[in-house]
């Protein structure tokens, strides 16, 4: 077999292997996307500080004057 043909076959084979590996990783990323999204949301919710509970507004001096 000529050297040029061997080099061409090896190059095409390496490109095909690279394409298959890239496609496999792409499919893995698509498959894991919902899991990653839910984990990210869970971590985001756990690290954000909780909003303080709003206390009812206290009346002013003017409100006290009108009531009494």
- Answer whether residue 37 is part of any domain: yes
Tell whether the model's pLDDT for residue 58 goes beyond 90. Answer: no
Phi first, then psi, for residue 12 (nearest 5°) are -65, -40
Sequential DSSP letters for the chain: --HHHHHHHHHHHHHHHHHHHHHHHHHHHHHHHHHHHHHHHHHHHHHSPPPPPPPPPPP-HHHHHHH-
- Answer whether residue 21 is part of any domain: yes
- Answer whether residue 41 is part of any domain: yes
- Answer whether residue 59 is part of any domain: no
- Answer whether residue 40 is part of any domain: yes
- Answer whether residue 58 is part of any domain: no
Alpha-carbon gap, residue 38 to 30, rounded angstroms: 14
**Least confident among 9-23, 24-38, 47-61:** 47-61
Per the structure, the complete domain to which residue 38 belongs is given by 3-49
pTM, to two decimals: 0.54
What is the domain count for the chain?
1
């Amino acid at each position: 077999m000529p050297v040029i043909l061997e080099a061409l076959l090896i190059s095409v084979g390496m490109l095909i292997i690279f394409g298959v590996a890239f496609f496999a990783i792409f499919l893995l990323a698509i498959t894991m996307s919902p899991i990653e999204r839910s984990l990210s949301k869970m971590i985001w919710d756990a690290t954000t500080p909780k909003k303080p509970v709003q206390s009812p507004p206290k009346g002013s001096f003017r409100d006290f004057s009108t009531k009494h």
